[in-house]
Amino acid sequence: MSSDDSLACVAAGDSRTRRGGSLKFFHGPMDCGKSTLALQMDYNHARQGRSGLVLTTIDRAGPGRLTTRIGLHRDAVEVTAELDVRALVRDRWARGIHVDYLICDEASFYTVEQIEQLADLVDYSDVDVYAFGLATDFRSQLFPASRRLIELADEVVRVQVEVLCWCGRPGLLNARIVDGAVARAGEQVVIGDTAGMSAPDEPDVRYQVLCRRHHRNGDLGPAARSVGQLRLV
């Protein structure tokens, strides 16, 4: 709406002017509490009598669950690559279920098309969308969905719960550690934390939050170095 239009509405006393929804993207490295914040956001809105849906994908507990590292959890809609988020919401409406807001966890793993669908819901259906996810992948490059969220969101917020690199600096970037070394190439999405559980011929993959300096130079700190020395012995 142009400012002229807003003035016209005010002048006409049009109290029905739609507020519109808003699209907010909260991002931060792993372990910074994004999923906890997502559940807190859901709780706050539900307490105000609003009705929402919680969506997630590739949660550590498997499909249809949103779990947090500090032990909170709830049921969630699993976002598969084929899911049309607009159809999901329309289907709820058709069944008489209000959807005032969406909590979208792990949004960096959604498709770009699904981010467009979220923006449609905000603009045409006044649904508030709160998306949570990683900004960048293990190479410190934006995920396509996160890029689109940053381009489209009304507000982009870096989650403030601080995660520290082993050196004590703020941990800003996720590193993928494959067999003890920082990976620089590979698939954008690989589920990690296989350490000790992978088959003998498969590499150990895990993730670690590092500061920018140590992400870029690949230094995993004295603990990793002593492990390396033990292996040499």
**Residue numbers at the binding site for Zn ion (CB under 5 A):** 165, 167, 169, 211, 214
Which residues, including other chains, have CB under 8 Å from residue 42's CB and lie 6 or more apart? 52, 54, 74, 103
Q: Which is nearer to Zn ion, 69 or 216 (CB)?
A: 216
Q: Which residue has the tokens 């084929």?
A: 82
Assess whether 151 carries a catalytic annotation: no
Distance in Å, CB of 50 to Zn ion, minimum: 41
Classify each residue of 200-214 as buried b or exposed e, where b means 16 or more C-beta atoms within 10 Å of its C-beta. eeebebebbbbbeeb
Q: Which residue has the tokens 């792993």?
A: 30
Q: Which of 106, 113, 162, 202 is catalytic?
A: 106
Q: Letter for the amino acid at 22? A: S
Q: Which is nearer to Zn ion, 126 or 219 (CB)?
A: 219
Q: Which is nearer to Zn ion, 68 or 208 (CB)?
A: 208
Q: Which is nearer to Zn ion, 97 or 167 (CB)?
A: 167
Distance in Å, CB of 210 to Zn ion, minimum: 6
In order of 67, 127, 148, the CA distances from 50 in angstroms are: 22, 11, 27
Q: Letter for the amino acid at 70? A: I
Cα–Cα distance for residue pair 213/220, rounded to 1 Å: 11
Catalytic residue set: 106
